Amino acid sequence: MNKIVLIGNLTHDPETRSTSNGVTVCSFTIAVNRRFASQGGERQTDFFRINAWRQLGDVCSRYLAKGRKVAVIGELQARTYEAKDGTTRMSLDVSADEVEFLTPKSDDQGSSYSAPTAPRPQQNRNQDVAGFTDISSDDIPF
């Protein structure tokens, strides 16, 4: 089974392109901090290139931007290519199956994206801010 789960922040705005067949692909890189610090106290960061295809790519290109936090579930894919100096190199990319936007709405400064919000219920006079209702000790059955 080839499955990878990553949570990190975008290092730059996503790039969107189309294949010759008209299929949309959105590419972006996320920085993922490792769980533990090195002996010197520094936290290591890994960078992963993510490719989101078709409708998922459209949504990512519309709502993601540099600095946003995302969770990505996908497949790790190895590809080889020839560098400008003629050497063969290898790259590991993630083909995204799912992308979850984790940046809260309040942190989206200047964004055109607004997540739907649930309507707030009317508060009655016996209900406090957390949604609990005041009761007297006479109402408790034990």
pLDDT at 131 over 50: yes
Tell me if the pTM is above 0.75: no
Whether pLDDT at 67 is above 60: yes
Q: Tell which wins on pLDDT, 137 or 19.
A: 19
14, pLDDT greater than 70: yes
Every domain of the chain and the residues it spans:
4-106
Superfamily of domain 4-106: Nucleic acid-binding proteins (2.40.50.140)
Q: DSSP label at 123?
A: P
- Whether residue 26 contacts residue 58, with contact meaning beta carbons closer than 8 Å, is answered with yes
**Contact by Cβ (8 Å): 67, 55:** no
pLDDT grade for 71, boundaries at 50, 70 and 90: very high
Q: What is the CA radius of gyration of the chain?
A: 23
Using the predicted structure, report yes or no on whether residue 105 has a pLDDT greater than 50. yes
